[in-house]
Amino acid sequence: MGRTVAPAAYSGILQRSQAMGFGMNSDTLTGSLLRTLAATKPGGSFLELGTGCGVGTSWILDGMDQNATLTSVDSDEAALGIARDALGTDPRVRFVRQDGSAFLASTRQSFDLIYADTWPGKYTHLESALAIVNPGGIYIVDDMLPQPNWPPGHDEKAAALMATLTALEGFQVASLEWSTGLVICVKSRS
């Protein structure tokens, strides 16, 4: 198996995030999948809920064509600042400093791919996130397998989310016990 080539900004973002003690970066395997999925939507509109320091953002941008756009939302200014510094000159990305639940409540846009990597749009406000996935669009979450940073009781929340996602109507769903545990949901076109 070949080595995965990371986006150009990846190592700098990772170093800065580790220096600030940020421990919730997207896994490299998840990143490579995000890049691949983004490449399936030429001219697409993408949403990342939970920018963090921009590791996942860098992977999504790396897979996007020049006509695609990415909106990345996070409420943590320090982490978002790292992402802006590393990726903010790319005209395809727009960073929004806002709680994900407030963003989901106010947006009138729909998206071809939503990567929900924070509580809003994943553990809360799930219906709001799923409602703005375009037909044929992708909704993806990670960290569905037990993680060392999970607080006590989080395994029950993850199991409940998994049960909800795998029972979705109007979506084709694949649960992958790979990387940190991924669920990919594709909205039916009808």
pLDDT in tens, 98-136: 999 999 999 999 999 999 999 999 999 999 999 999 999
pLDDT in tens, 20-35: 877 776 788 999 999 9
- Above 80 in pLDDT, residue 168? yes
Residue in 134, 140, 131, 93 with CA at minimum distance from that of residue 111 = 134
pLDDT in tens, 135-167: 999 999 999 998 888 889 999 999 999 999 999
Domains and CATH numbers, the chain: 10-187 (3.40.50.150)
Handedness of CA 19, 25, 30, 36 (dihedral sign): negative
CB 99 within 8 A of CB 105: no
Exposed (0-12), middle (13-18) or buried (19+): which is 62, by Cβ within 10 Å? buried
The whole-model pTM stands at 0.94
